[in-house]
Amino acid sequence: MLRANRLLYEMELDFRLAQLDAWRTGNRPMANIEYATLVINAMGFLGLDLMGAADRTRLASEYFDIIRAKGFPDTACDRTIVCLAMCINEDFPAPDLVMAHNTACHMELTSFKAIGEYFNKPVFTLNGGLGANEDTLSFVTDQLEEFIEFAEKKIPGVRYDEERMVELIEIECQAAECLHQVNSLRRLTPCPLSALDAFRLPRMPSYYPEPRRALSYFKAWRDEMLEKAEHGIGALENEQLRFLWVVTGPFYFNPFMVLARRGVAVPALQFGWMPRLFGIKYQIYGDESEYGRRLSPLEEQARMLNSNSWAVKGDVWVDDCLDVAKDLRVDGIVYYVQIGCTASAGLGRLVAERSEAELGIPTLLLEGRQLDAQFKKQEECEAELEAFVDLCFDWKARER
């Protein structure tokens, strides 16, 4: 376990305590924070990580029962329906204002809208995830300006603070530089990053009530990784294979224990923003090369809202998966076919075909759910992973 994780756990605890206090006292308005973290924070909202909180429930049988009882479909991506059930069951607050958007996928947009409509909260619908060009950048930036006007009218005391926005962008630039350095280190063999740490979706500092404190975690994580790399310390004692894990995974058990026992390192999780956040293909805030000019603060937020490869054309997602696999020199890909994921499930076959043809590596299409342990038993997943490890060892032996 990384020593830096202690800082992360403390930040997560303080985040929950702040949400709990705002929920109980009503002293600070809350808005869902997924992907629009800069503008939400700069307006004085406390963020509600609806999807991220759902990811952290591990076992969600009770929430699936609530969804079914209320007549909502239970076949959608787990995180998009479990967060609704969490709010219905009063285990998590409903936001005072909802930004519903398709920045990751259409299922998230419909889930956000359902939460707003169920709790009779104001909902602003934003059309993002459109790819990177001047027209789409302008289109989303205009919508952000409309959102600011909408929120200021609907929620007393909320005001957009551009100086705060600029400060947040500067903080996130520093965090992104840390992520870029971490990525350069996990190319090493042995890989200094454990599978569990690689699997964690990084929350950028503007997620948190105290972004500068959050930045200290990114720096501590980077420094600890540098220390491991300097001494040649890997997460595994005997690394023999490297896998790229793609999309998401089962949260009701730890699938990486099976791989670790076989000497398989998992240096990265490929998700919608991974190539951008870790600097593999794209740059983040402050970069002028992508558009050939310096972006305004709201344009910087729009850039991010348009650049999640779960939401754009399928060929972008497939190319990103292959480029990350090539960058990290992996021996195989585990592509988690998440039931209900309209953005990525059908593209797994294309990733598998192209990874074999272009990179000479196999892909396991591991079907499952995130939070429903009844859909697929742990033993079934582990057996598929074991068989795939055997296959990859065979492929590697033939190459020699």
Q: List the chain domain ranges.
A: 5-162, 167-399
In the numeric block, which tokens belong to residue 155? 């929620």
Taking a C-beta distance cutoff of 8 angstroms, is the pair 373, 357 a contact?
A: no
Taking a C-beta distance cutoff of 8 angstroms, is the pair 355, 318 a contact?
A: no
Give the tens place of pLDDT for each residue, 14-45.
999 999 999 999 999 999 998 899 999 999 99
Does domain 167-399 fall into CATH 3.40.50.720? no
Are 5-162 and 167-399 in the same CATH fold?
yes
Give the tens place of pLDDT for each residue, 343-398.
899 999 999 999 999 999 999 999 999 999 889 999 999 999 999 999 999 998 88
What is the reported pLDDT for 56? 87
* CATH of the domain spanning 5-162, picked from 3.40.50.11890, 3.30.360.10, 3.40.50.720, 3.30.1330.40: 3.40.50.11890
Give the tens place of pLDDT for each residue, 66-80.
999 999 999 899 999
Those residues with Cβ within 8 angstroms of residue 211's Cβ, 6 or more apart along the chain or in another chain: 41, 168, 171, 172, 205
Q: In the predicted model, is pLDDT for residue 116 greater than 90? A: yes
Q: In the predicted model, is pLDDT for residue 400 greater than 70? A: no
Q: What are the percentages of helix, strand and coil residues in the chain, rounded to 5?
A: 50, 10, 35
Q: In the predicted model, is pLDDT for residue 1 greater than 80? A: no
Q: In the predicted model, is pLDDT for residue 264 greater than 90? A: yes
Q: Enter the pTM of the model.
A: 0.95
Q: What is the DSSP letter of 158?
A: -
Q: How far apart are the first and last CA of the chain?
A: 34
